[in-house]
Every structure is written in structure tokens, then in C-alpha cells.
Amino acid sequence: MLKIYNTGSNKKEKFVPMKKGKVGMYTCGMTVYDFAHIGHGRKYVGDDILRRILEWSGYDVKHVQNVTDVGHLSSDEDEGEDKMEKGAIKFGKTVWDVAEFFTDHFFTSMDALNIERPHIICKATDHIPEQIGLVQTLIKKGFAYDTPEAVYFDIDSFKAYGRLFRQKLDDKKTAVRAEVQTGEYKKNPHDFALWFKRVGHFSNHTMYWASPWGDGFPGWHIECSAMSMKYLGETFDIHTGGIDHIPVHHTNEIAQSEAATGKPLAHFWVHHAFLTVNGIKMAKSLGNFITIEEIIKKGYDPLELRFFYLSAHYRQQLNFTWEALDGAKAGYKNLCNLVQTIREKKQDAVIRSKISTHLSDLLTSVTQQFSDAVSDDMNMPKAMAVFFDFLKRVKTEKDLSARDYLAIYDEILRFDTVFGLRVNRPDLKTFEVPSDIQILANEREKARKSKKWAESDRLRDEITSRGFVVEDTANGSTIRPV
């Protein structure tokens, strides 16, 4: 039974698709005005894990993801300049060149993390007619109004506005910066733009299209409503995004979509927590972002970064440090080496006609534990712990045949269809003891010499929980992967 935490209801719910065996899933994509960074990587690995778990559970998933290449202002509200125009100035290119370059960069970066590409990738600039049509519907139904500067959504006309973020509208803060533009013609300061006109602040905007209200360009929020409904229908199963999308972008998406159709936009809303760097939110505005290229240049494999992402639940904030990535690097190599050992053993072992009864029972038990973990709101840390424990037990099993090892290896590859770690790689032959594990081992050795046995046992258990085993010999202690 797959359960997913639904931001819309603020609780974990049993997942039941609208159509038996099929899932429609929309993921908010990147605004392509600058480089993708490892904070984006965490969010999109989370989406990838969700899709993989759905497929593991037997669903046929239709995955749609947008590319925002116009209309997203420097504030998520209707303030500042268009980020695409900002990127064009920063890099000395046209907005069209910026969009193409950073769209390619984004997907190349996500490919490096072994993220499966969406089945449909839709660009905002390719769907202007659909967005104009949706704005026309909202005006006709009395949910939007035309002004000399923009067409705005009238939030007072939609009584359920703000349902997703569970705040009173009066508590919602918009004027957080001195340069905020209030919108001279807004009926309510919280009304949001559906279509910006090429006047005033935007009179020189280089991306514009003809519309019933004059030349201009769409607001940020309207694109996701228009494109998600085009490809998945007026109501679909799952909509994902970052937690920063909740108070503005997704709130506005829900309002305009449901006002237009009278139907819920999505049954499940899934939001991913932030990745921080040394405890500070990673953001382009702060200049503290790290790209996948930087990870590679420093000698790390992008899949080691993916391994690092899986160390925390997707709804928990995860802090990036280079020391933490060192630990993930060692853990990932240890995992691949252990899988390689099992692959070699299945070639050398004695062939039997069928797997042993004991192993069959073990595989059944482990598969159930793994399924329970991934089905419990994508609990990947728990699933990884089950996986490591399974490999540890296999390593201690005696008299396994080639057929036994083949069954074990097949199960490992099945688990990895969810992890996406490519653990059957033959190119990782060495393992390193990460510094934090070595520190724990040194502390344990001191405890042993001081005959503090309870402390020694506690430290051994902590080391084991991180995927390593301490072996005491006459010549001292050694550390090896499970």
C-alpha cells in the first residue's frame, strides 16, 4: 500500500490513482536563466525517486515537466524584472540564447544524476495560445480583470484562495523589499498577474506576443496551469515542487485552475525540502550555489551526490558539506564493490537447479521490508538501511550456489531500479574509510583500551549503522564495508 504525504491535506494518504494502473504526474521545472545547481539536483532526484517508486509499484506513469523560459519575475510575486531578461544582461546573450543554453545545461546536469527524463518536456514559450485561452476563460467567468498594466486574477472572487498554505490572507507578506512594485491598478495587493502588458516597467521587454489585451507576455503561474491541463487533463494525480512553491506559485496555480474548471487541479501535492550549504539555503541570489560541473571537477562522481541525497527523507532539510560528500563517496564505492563481489561469486559458485529454501525466505522478507520502506512516503534512508542489511547478511551466508547468487544479484538490480545508483558498475574497485567513520573507530579503540565496554559496543553499532563493520584481531581493529 503506497502512502504519500499530501500537502493539500497535511497528512500521509493512501495513493489511489484516478485511472486504474495509470498515473499522471506534473513536476514544476526550472526557470532557465542561470546554471542548475545541486539544490535543484536534490529536488529533481526526489521527483525521480517518486516516479521510480510508482513504476516499481506497477503503475504506468505519464510524467510532464515544464521549462519556464518567460514570465518569472525576480520576486515570486509580481515584482522586479523578468529573470530571463536578467540572465540575458548577465551573460551578454539574447533571452532566446540564454533559454536554449540553460535548458540544455539543466537536462545535462540531471542526466549526470541518472534522473529519467520526463515523458513530456513543455516550454512556456511554446504554449502561449494555451495560456491566452486560459486567461480568456478566467475573464469570462469573472475571476480576472483587465487593467492598463496587466490582466490580474481577482483573488477575492475565489473564496478558497490560500487553502494550500493554510494562512489567513492578511498574514501573507508581499512587501518584503523596498523595491516592491505594488501594482497601481490591482484591486487587492495580493492579486497576481496572468498577462503582463508591454508598457511602463516592461515597455522594452524583448519577449512578447500579441494578445486580446495588447502585446505582452504571460505571468509565471499561468504556464503551469495551461500546460499541465493540456497534457494531463483538468484534474490529475500528482503535482510536485519545492516547499518554496507552496505560499505563492502553487497557491496561485490552484486558484486560477480551479476557478477556470470548477475541479481540483491535482489530488496529491508533493513538496521537497531545501538543500542547505553549511546551514544556509542554497540560492543564486546569495551566490552560494554549487553546480554539478564543480562536483565533477573536484573528483566526485555525480552518483555519489545522488547517494548523498538519499541519506535524508525528502521532506527533511539536508545540509551539504564537502565532508558529508566525502562520506557519501566512500559509502557509494563500498556499495558498488560489495555488489561487484556478489557478481563475481555467482560466476564461481557451484551450479544448482534451484535456489535454497533459506535464501528464498530471505529474499521474500527483504523484498517486503524494502517495499514497506519505499511505500511509506518514500522513506529512502530506511530503504537504504534495508539494502545494506541485506548485503551484509548475504556476505555471511555459507555454501551459496551460483543460482543463489544469481537470484541475489537480480534482486539487487531490482532494488536499484528505485535507487537509480547503477550499483552494478565494475569500475569502482577500491574503498576508502571516510574520516567520520575513522574518528568513531578511534574513539571505540580508546574505549576498549579503557575497558568501557558499553561505550565500545555503542560506537560499534553506530559504525555498523553507517555501512561499515569493525573487526577486532590480535593486531588491532580493522574496518571494512558491510
CATH of the domain at 338: 1.10.730.10
The three cell numbers locating residue 72: 518569472
Same domain, 144 and 203: yes
Distances (CA, A) of 121 to 64, 66, 431: 6, 6, 39
Q: Is residue 21 part of a domain?
A: yes
213 contacts 41 by C-beta, under 8 angstroms: no
DSSP state of 209: B
Distances (CA, A) of 74 to 96, 186, 247, 283: 18, 19, 16, 12
318-320/275-277 β-pairing: parallel
The last residue of a domain, from among 213, 244, 272: 272
- Rounded CA-CA distance 438/246 in Å is 42
Q: Is residue 102 part of a domain?
A: yes
12 Cβ contact list (under 8 Å, min separation 6): 3, 4, 5, 6, 376, 377
102 contacts 34 by C-beta, under 8 angstroms: yes
Residue holding cell 539543466? 106
Same domain, 450 and 405: no
- Amino acid found at 190: H
Q: How many degrees, rounded to 5, is the angle at CA 210 between CA 121 and CA 120?
A: 5
The last residue of a domain, from among 272, 304, 319: 272
pLDDT for the residue 302 = 95
Same domain, 155 and 24: yes
Q: Is residue 10 part of a domain?
A: no
Same domain, 335 and 236: no
- Digitized pLDDT (tens) for each residue of the chain, 482 residues in all: 899 999 999 999 999 999 999 999 999 999 999 999 999 999 999 999 999 999 999 999 999 999 999 989 877 667 778 899 999 999 999 999 999 999 999 999 999 999 999 999 999 999 999 999 999 999 999 999 999 999 999 999 999 998 776 666 555 544 322 223 446 789 999 899 999 999 988 999 999 999 999 999 999 999 999 999 999 999 999 999 999 999 999 999 999 999 999 999 999 999 999 999 988 877 766 777 899 999 999 999 999 999 999 999 999 999 999 999 999 999 998 888 888 888 777 666 556 557 778 888 999 999 999 999 999 999 999 999 999 999 888 887 777 877 888 889 889 999 999 999 999 876 654 455 777 788 888 889 888 888 898 898 888 888 887 777 777 755 467 676 65
- Rounded CA-CA distance 293/397 in Å is 41
Same domain, 243 and 374: no
Continuous H helices in 352-450: 357-375, 380-396, 402-419, 435-449
Q: Cβ of 169: how many Cβ atoms within 10 Å?
A: 11
Q: Is residue 159 part of a domain?
A: yes
Q: Is residue 283 part of a domain?
A: no
Same domain, 245 and 325: no
Same domain, 324 and 472: no
Residue holding cell 528464498? 360
Domain count, the chain: 3
pLDDT for the residue 430 = 45
Same domain, 412 and 439: no
Q: Is residue 48 part of a domain?
A: yes
Q: Is residue 473 part of a domain?
A: yes
Same domain, 73 and 184: yes
- Rounded CA-CA distance 341/417 in Å is 20
pLDDT for the residue 180 = 33
pLDDT for the residue 173 = 44
The last residue of a domain, from among 217, 238, 272: 272
Same domain, 155 and 226: yes
> Residue 352 sits in which domain range?
292-419
Q: Is residue 267 part of a domain?
A: yes
Same domain, 335 and 465: no
Same domain, 364 and 462: no
